[in-house]
Structure 1
Amino acid sequence: MTGQANEREPRAGARQARSEQYLDNDLKGQRRWYSTRASAYKTRAQACSFAVIVAGAATSFLQVLPAGWLPASPANWVPVATAAFGALVVLLEGWQRISRYNETWPSYRAASERMKREQRLYVNGAGAYRGTEEEEAYLRFVEAVEAIIAEEQKLYWQGRPDEVSTKTPPNPA
């Protein structure tokens, strides 16, 4: 058993180094980019949603606030404040619709996690990499990672048909 573990460690180490070289150098840190962007988009989506909730609650609260609690006459500033909170809700919801943080971060996270899984399978010689020659295993790994990226890009553009140009490029002939 220990002979088998010692035999596997050098191969796993070489595969680890080769997979990191591919992910970090060839893809310029693509997996890290997906992971970082997923975290940032999730944070932004949650912040926008929380701000909408706070502004909506403040709008309702200001409308029913007893007049004795107000520092000035409600006629002066309550309509302005509720209008401002209402505008804030509309702007935040509009921005969320444009930026699509809630739609994008899960697909980025999934792509990052699938790349991590594929790297673990490759490094450990499991799954599609079991019993394959080194070069064949590496080519399968590259193809699998490229398929993950292509699928994520397809999903990204699938929900954005108005952002993709349908024109064919001019023929340079």
Structure 2
Amino acid sequence: MNLKPDEYIKNRLDDQINWYDKKSATQKKCYYWSKVVTLICTASIPVISVAFRHQSFTVIVTALIAAIATVTEGILTLTKWHEKWIAYRSNAEALKREEYSYLTSSGAYSELNDDEKFHTLVDRTEDIISNENTNWASLGKKKGKSI
């Protein structure tokens, strides 16, 4: 496959940047919502316990709320939304930095001819993407061994 620089930027680099941006935003929302649920649940337990201390339903309600908080934290731990959010955001920003450096002929691209610039862009971009894939693959292997 012989891509021109504009084709590579549009079809590969920009596509990957958009994918990482969207995934990062999704992971961030999931992380925030799970933390909000956990915070509301854990903060409400003492309030309900004191405000309704003489009611028979208080024990059941506080136990249910504690269970919801525990499950939410467990889901957060299992899904690793926070870690994914940070990793996806970091990759999106690293890819953007490569694209801008390439387009402005700065940094690693400052003293290269057009062919060298393009090949350097491809190499550096694919390294970023490959490293991210390798990091997640190794995380999956670690999880598999510990189970």
TM-score between the two structures when normalised by the length of structure 1: 0.73
Report the aligned-residue RMSD. Answer: 2.2
How has the CA–CA distance of structure 1 residues 23 and 48 changed in structure 2, closer, same or farther, with 3 Å as cutoff?
Answer: farther
Partner of 2:97: 117
Deviation for aligned residue 1:26:
3.5
How has the CA–CA distance of structure 1 residues 137 and 164 changed in structure 2, closer, same or farther, with 3 Å as cutoff?
Answer: farther
After TM superposition, list the pairs within 5 Å mapping 1:1-173 onto structure 2.
Answer: 18-19=5-6, 21-26=7-12, 29-66=15-52, 74-75=55-56, 77-162=57-142
Deviation for aligned residue 1:27:
5.7
Which is further off, 21-30 or 150-159?
Answer: 21-30
Identity of aligned residues (%): 23
- The runs of at least 4 consecutive aligned structure 1 residues that moved more than 3 Å come to 162-165
How has the CA–CA distance of structure 1 residues 110 and 28 changed in structure 2, closer, same or farther, with 3 Å as cutoff?
Answer: closer
Amino acid corresponding to residue 55 of structure 2 in structure 1: P
Distance 2:100 2:50 in 1: 58
Rg comparison, structure with higher value? 1
Distance 1:99 1:149 in 2: 21
- Structure 1, unaligned runs of 5 or more: 1-16, 68-72, 166-173
Which is further off, 135-144 or 147-156?
Answer: 147-156
How has the CA–CA distance of structure 1 residues 159 and 90 changed in structure 2, closer, same or farther, with 3 Å as cutoff?
Answer: same
How has the CA–CA distance of structure 1 residues 23 and 84 changed in structure 2, closer, same or farther, with 3 Å as cutoff?
Answer: farther
Distance 1:96 1:143 in 2: 35
Deviation for aligned residue 1:74:
1.0
Distance 2:17 2:52 in 1: 54
Aligned length: 142
Amino acid corresponding to residue 57 of structure 1 in structure 2: A
TM-score between the two structures when normalised by the length of structure 2: 0.85
Distance 2:29 2:112 in 1: 41
Distance 2:79 2:97 in 1: 28
